[in-house]
Structure 1
């Protein structure tokens, strides 16, 4: 749990005269769920976009497993093993679950049928999809041949998370995965996040849902005014204290053990 998989040092990102990220630090450990919280405008979204390759920083460095990396696009991050689940889920509603799991990474048939005619190997994609769902313990889907537009919001989120887990060899990032979900569906997604981290893949959870954060996170990265204010453990602080640090009503704790302040 102490091995750092993904880290960022002194990240700066400006949009014209506005500095969204002002020398921010970040670190993610192997097998953990790290929640990232902060008020609107705190710069957490821009920081996460740097880590996922969606934004190129103006200064600072990102390291993956101790090696400096420069992501110029989300595709670069994906190739490095970092998958991100955005709020819009990026799915094709008319297509089935298996096809959506391999969207943009379709499996072609072997031989000239795949290389020349570019025919999809639907059977193989469905087989791999079933295996992925079984490995993650997903039992809420009737069939991987269901079209996505027939699924509930929680089921769609489950498919998006399963897709990220299938291809996120190093890191899975989730942006507000329980937003607009009911209590039961939210619990299902949070349980899935726990199962992913239990496989050894660390998860970054960006969320405004503080009770959900306390339920699933091993550590909480608190972002304020463009930089990391502190990293705390849920068992060491109450929800009110964490919100107080996030809003500036309480000072950041002194750095010690697993608690970090900047």
Structure 2
């Protein structure tokens, strides 16, 4: 496969995108309340090509959610000790408890992608993963975890364009690693790895949902809308809150500001 057959799409209008994103984020907040109130456990796996827009979508999903309920998990390279553990073991420690949401920015599927392509695992370890992955996910679902898996698909040309943008933007250069650039030379290898992964792990209990990500705005809206539609959530009544009246003071006087350390008023220097 020379390149993904990504559809050329006109960029989604910003004003419509921002309105719909805000509406969807409001629903995410309401869904979060349902997760918390019912003690549900939600795991969302984000996978896909480098620079396909996973990170930006995760940021929009979590933007207005309570960090005590929803957390993002992006594990670093395994330690020497973790390399000797059962492969799925370090991910189990990050699974949600009752009333929690975990967003995996990459997951156990590293073994089906970068580890396979770059030779970071043996063929035996890779084959074992393909056998155990669906069983592991079946166990999660059987235990009541709500599992959603999204693969972000982007064309070779669009990926290269985004890499170039990151190289040229000092604020985004941290997003680009030598391993990311290696993926350019291994495009076909990653394509084959993706196809094999889908064959073995796109199951009835934990299907892969493909997100066409040539246009980041469309991808974000489509992914969030699907997540909301796929969940059995409903509106949860929250107790009404009322701002109390300010009580009468008891004579407290704040110490002089002269004895405190204050940050300089940098903002005022910009007013001219």
TM-score (norm 1): 0.31
Question: Which structure has the greater CA radius of gyration?
Answer: 2
Q: Which has the higher strand share?
A: 1
Q: Which has the higher helix share?
A: 2
